[in-house]
A and B are shown apart, each in its own frame.
Chain A
Amino acid sequence: MATLASDALRKGAAPIGQTGLSITYQRLMLVMLVFAGVTFMIVGRLLFLQVFTDRADGASLANPLIPPRADILDRNGVPLARTIDAWSIYVHPNKLLGDPKAVAERLAALMPERSAAEFESILRSGKSFQYLSRRAVPELVQAVNALGEPAISFAREPERLYPQTSLAGHILGWTDFDGRGVSGMEKVLEGRLTDPAQRGTPVELAIDSRVQAAMESELGAAVTKFSAEGATGIVLDIHTGELIAMASAPNFNPNAAGRSDANALFNRATLGVYELGSTFKPLTVAAAIDAGVIKSVAQRYPSGAPIAIGRFRIKDDHPIAGSANIVETLVHSSNIVTAQIADQMGEARMQATFKSLGFNEPAHVELEKGRPLYPREWSRATVLTSGFGHGIAVSPLHLASAYAALVNGGIWRPATLMKVKHAPAGRRVYSEETSMTMRKLLRMIVLEGTGRKGEAPGFRVGGKTGTAEKVSSSGGYSKKVNVSTFAAAFPMDNPRYVVIAMLDAPHATADTFGFTTAAWNAAPVVSRVISRTGPLLGVLPDDRREIDVSAMMALVGKQQGH
């Protein structure tokens, strides 16, 4: 090219004098310059692109490792909810080639959830798009692909998977087909889970899946054994308010939430409110010790005769003859004495205690929660009965938080399902000294009283049984239908966890000797859960450790046989 140009210049410069020729040369020269210029421009641009373009940009723009919705993990990093690429099978009915009837029959054989007639109507609809199956397993996709119908196509769609199936279903909730949280933590954390900046990092819940599994299996076994309507169990870290486990039976599988019945979807731990009965007695006693109504655990109250209040009579199934001190009151679970203590406390102080424990407002947790049935009008009868847990209905989670405050040194903290680094400040409900006394009293109930079946050897369990009569559908209390609760904490010499088990309407079996009280059904659940999970929670069983209850042991009369 350069040679040609120079030739042309040389020839053009020759003084021949023929103007026509020189004009031709000049034009030729111009055309060549234009061609050369365009070529150089293109080459230059290519070189520029080659050198200065950074190809790495394209790959890192959309990182395929960041899921469309963040994972949910338990406190140890075990995945509880993940998003995976699932297969969906769809059909373009307007492009169908085969005989709709034959194809429909073969589809019905592979996917029994729809009949052949339904498939045929889909195939004959003439629409351009229709899902045949979403969240299909690879085997099904393969089988449908083997039909060889070109109108049927497959695609991969993000799908929410709960690898632990029904584990913690009530806590996790579920998502709809479009990946939006419908219930549970999926709904609560919707913003956090889908936030593009944060969805790369998984969310850690406070749940420990091992403890949750143990609680669910023990509750499930108890529900089956006692033919109960339902049950709930809670394990709460008393120092941080973290819910280590929260189970409700019957439970459901969030992978197929739509196919569960309404009873299973109901979370009894937070949505259900129950009169929890005698488990309130330690709360009343602690408040009375704090208020100075009870000056010593040796203080005695008459316990033999029922108390008449209006048209009610407060009585005990097995009254303690004569009088009872505070230790005996709790060990033998005396309604009569607790009612007198509540009476001495008076309405104002009882209400103040219940309000500081949050019994007048929905439980403090992220999930949907039920509103407690807190009495509006406080008569003397209300005060007396509330002392032993009747006439006031709260959720089991309320009780767990209250027991945590009772044994952790007196600080009430809101319960949470999120893993927390620093415990919230909380508010003081009981004095530290009262809390120490209550630890011993709770331990005494398990050693000597109604909570004996709640003992887990070596774990120093302390707790209180509660058997409340359930309000029947016709109003009024039913003697036969109970709500049995056992609220416990362990290890009592340095409490760390509160464990609560509640059975809704359990039936008596042969080995409970016809009893439906908490000592026979709820307490063994707590005992087994503690034995199974104590070491996992860092509490090793030790037969040589014990909280010192010798002083209280001396106060318990041995004349009571039960």
Chain B
Amino acid sequence: MIARGFKSVIWVGAVGAAAIACYMVSLQVATERADLTKVESQIIAAKRDIRALQTELGTRGRMSQLETWNAEVLALSAPTASQFLPDQVTLARFDQPEATLDQTIGQVRMASAETAPETPATAAPSAPVVRAAAPAAAPAQPMVRQASFTPELPRSSAALPAKPKIEQAKADKPVTKPGSAKTIAAKAEVKQAAVAPAAAKKPDTKTAAKAPAKPAAKTAAEKPRTAKAEPKLAAPVKAAAKKPQGSAGN
């Protein structure tokens, strides 16, 4: 009875609730759409700003301005042909890995080997010559090492890497002694360089080369020539003189 009396009220309520629900959904959609439009307009505003800023940046960094800066501050000039490398091989020419102790000793040894054949033509003190000489030295180095190293390998496998080298240098000496006087001079040089005390760091390489050469030198004429050919190798020799000290400290 009561239910029947309220039936119409319930109907009205249900229909009203449904209508409101539908309206809420559509209202929600409308809100979302409005938000979307707002974001879109923000994007447009941002793009406009970007364009304006790009224009300003482009105007401030215009070519004539860059040129003025270059003239006043940077002073950059056009690159020359030597600053361009055509291929990887040319690039590899510039790669000079840090020489290990092994290599520096080897290099010093090589220097003496180079003076032996007597090539005064290589005295031109230009940078590429040094570079050209370095790779040329590389193949010669293992040859010498192989000769002296193989018998020692089984014995000194556990020893420090620095020690056998000095040993090796010493061991080389008797072997090469029967050879030319020049190589003896070089070996002596290596020895001195390797065992040199801290005071031996300073003296320039010319005297360093002469000093060990004097006792061994038998041909006076060749001595100054080796000294002359060597200024380029001054750096490696110095390095060699420094390095063993470091290793001695270890």
Which residues from chain B contact A2 at a C-beta distance below 8 Å?
Answer: 8, 12
B8 and A6 form a contact (CB under 8 A) = yes
Q: How far is the CB of B37 from chain A (nearest CB, A)?
A: 6
Which of B41, B54, B64, B67 lies in contact with A59, CB distance below 8 A? B41
Residue of A nearest to B36 (CB): A56
- 0/1 interface trace, chain A 1-45, chain B, CB 8 Å (1 if under): 011001000000000000000000000000000000000000000
B58 and A213 form a contact (CB under 8 A) = no
Given A2-B12, A79-B58 in contact, is the A165-B64 Cβ separation under 8 Å?
Answer: yes
A213 and B84 form a contact (CB under 8 A) = no
Which residues from chain A contact B62 at a C-beta distance below 8 Å?
Answer: 163-165, 167
* Cα–Cα, bound, A84→B47 (Å): 13
Given A2-B8, A164-B64, A542-B86 in contact, is the A50-B26 Cβ separation under 8 Å?
Answer: yes
Which residues from chain B contact A315 at a C-beta distance below 8 Å?
Answer: none
* Cα–Cα, bound, A485→B79 (Å): 26
B80 and A59 form a contact (CB under 8 A) = no
Given A59-B37, A64-B48 in contact, is the A535-B64 Cβ separation under 8 Å?
Answer: no
At the interface, yes or no: B157 with Cβ under 8 Å from chain A? no
B40 and A59 form a contact (CB under 8 A) = yes
At the interface, yes or no: B52 with Cβ under 8 Å from chain A? yes
* Cα–Cα, bound, A65→B50 (Å): 11
* Cα–Cα, bound, A541→B33 (Å): 60
Question: How many of chain A's residues touch chain B, expressed as a range?
Answer: 35 or more
At the interface, yes or no: B156 with Cβ under 8 Å from chain A? no
A532 and B59 form a contact (CB under 8 A) = no
Given A2-B8, A64-B44 in contact, is the A209-B63 Cβ separation under 8 Å?
Answer: yes
* Cα–Cα, bound, A56→B52 (Å): 26
B63 and A164 form a contact (CB under 8 A) = yes
A161 and B55 form a contact (CB under 8 A) = yes
At the interface, yes or no: B82 with Cβ under 8 Å from chain A? yes
At the interface, yes or no: B30 with Cβ under 8 Å from chain A? yes
Which of A51, A163, A216, A542 lies in contact with B59, CB distance below 8 A? A163
* Cα–Cα, bound, A56→B38 (Å): 11
Which residues from chain A contact B40 at a C-beta distance below 8 Å?
Answer: 59
Q: How far is the CB of B205 from chain A (nearest CB, A)?
A: 34
Which residues from chain B contact A75 at a C-beta distance below 8 Å?
Answer: none
Residue from B34, B36, B47, B58 having most chain A Cβ neighbours under 10 A: B58
Interface positions of A from 517 to 542, Cβ below 8 Å from B? 528, 531-532, 535, 540-542
A3 and B84 form a contact (CB under 8 A) = no
At the interface, yes or no: A306 with Cβ under 8 Å from chain B? no
At the interface, yes or no: A210 with Cβ under 8 Å from chain B? yes
Q: How far is the CB of A84 from chain B (nearest CB, A)?
A: 6
Which residues from chain B contact A531 at a C-beta distance below 8 Å?
Answer: 78
At the interface, yes or no: A258 with Cβ under 8 Å from chain B? no
Q: How far is the CB of B152 from chain A (nearest CB, A)?
A: 47
A56 and B37 form a contact (CB under 8 A) = yes
* Cα–Cα, bound, A213→B36 (Å): 45
Which residues from chain A contact B8 at a C-beta distance below 8 Å?
Answer: 2-3, 6
Given A56-B37, A161-B55 in contact, is the A166-B64 Cβ separation under 8 Å?
Answer: yes
Interface positions of A from 41 to 66, Cβ below 8 Å from B? 47, 50-51, 55-56, 59, 63-65
At the interface, yes or no: A82 with Cβ under 8 Å from chain B? yes
Which residues from chain A contact B36 at a C-beta distance below 8 Å?
Answer: 56
B64 and A51 form a contact (CB under 8 A) = no
* Cα–Cα, bound, A51→B40 (Å): 21
Interface positions of B from 71 to 91, Cβ below 8 Å from A? 78-82, 84, 86
Which residues from chain B contact A6 at a C-beta distance below 8 Å?
Answer: 8
Given A64-B44, A166-B64 in contact, is the A542-B26 Cβ separation under 8 Å?
Answer: no
A532 and B78 form a contact (CB under 8 A) = yes
- 0/1 interface trace, chain B 97-117, chain A, CB 8 Å (1 if under): 000000000000000000000
At the interface, yes or no: A191 with Cβ under 8 Å from chain B? no
Residue of A nearest to B43 (CB): A65
Which residues from chain A contact B9 at a C-beta distance below 8 Å?
Answer: 3
Which of B52, B55, B82 lies in contact with A79, CB distance below 8 A? B55
At the interface, yes or no: A457 with Cβ under 8 Å from chain B? yes
Which residues from chain B contact A82 at a C-beta distance below 8 Å?
Answer: 51, 55
* Cα–Cα, bound, A336→B86 (Å): 44
B82 and A543 form a contact (CB under 8 A) = yes
B47 and A65 form a contact (CB under 8 A) = yes
Q: How far is the CB of A213 from chain B (nearest CB, A)?
A: 4
Residue of A nearest to B26 (CB): A50
Given A3-B12, A161-B59, A213-B67 in contact, is the A458-B86 Cβ separation under 8 Å?
Answer: no
Residue of A nearest to B41 (CB): A59
Which residues from chain B contact A528 at a C-beta distance below 8 Å?
Answer: 78
Which residues from chain B contact A212 at a C-beta distance below 8 Å?
Answer: 63
* Cα–Cα, bound, A73→B208 (Å): 67
At the interface, yes or no: A481 with Cβ under 8 Å from chain B? no
Residue of B nearest to A168 (CB): B63
* Cα–Cα, bound, A63→B52 (Å): 16
B63 and A84 form a contact (CB under 8 A) = no
Q: How far is the CB of A246 from chain B (nearest CB, A)?
A: 15
Given A79-B58, A209-B63, A543-B82 in contact, is the A65-B12 Cβ separation under 8 Å?
Answer: no
Q: How far is the CB of A139 from chain B (nearest CB, A)?
A: 14
At the interface, yes or no: A78 with Cβ under 8 Å from chain B? yes
At the interface, yes or no: A217 with Cβ under 8 Å from chain B? yes
B63 and A167 form a contact (CB under 8 A) = yes
Which residues from chain A contact B12 at a C-beta distance below 8 Å?
Answer: 2-3
B64 and A213 form a contact (CB under 8 A) = yes
Which residues from chain B contact A79 at a C-beta distance below 8 Å?
Answer: 54-55, 58
A84 and B37 form a contact (CB under 8 A) = no
* Cα–Cα, bound, A174→B72 (Å): 31
9 more A-B residue pairs beyond the given contacts A6-B8, A212-B63, with a C-beta to C-beta distance below 8 A: A47-B26, A51-B26, A65-B51, A84-B52, A216-B64, A532-B78, A540-B86, A542-B81, A543-B82
A-B contact pairs, 13 of them (CB 8 A): A50-B26, A85-B52, A163-B55, A164-B58, A209-B63, A213-B64, A213-B67, A457-B80, A528-B78, A541-B81, A542-B81, A542-B84, A543-B81
Give B contacts to A, CB under 8 Å: 8-9, 12, 26, 30, 33-34, 36-37, 40-41, 44, 47-48, 51-52, 54-55, 58-59, 62-64, 66-67, 78-82, 84, 86
Identify the 8 closest CB pairs spanning chains A and B, nearest first.
A458-B81, A213-B63, A541-B81, A531-B78, A163-B59, A163-B58, A532-B78, A543-B81
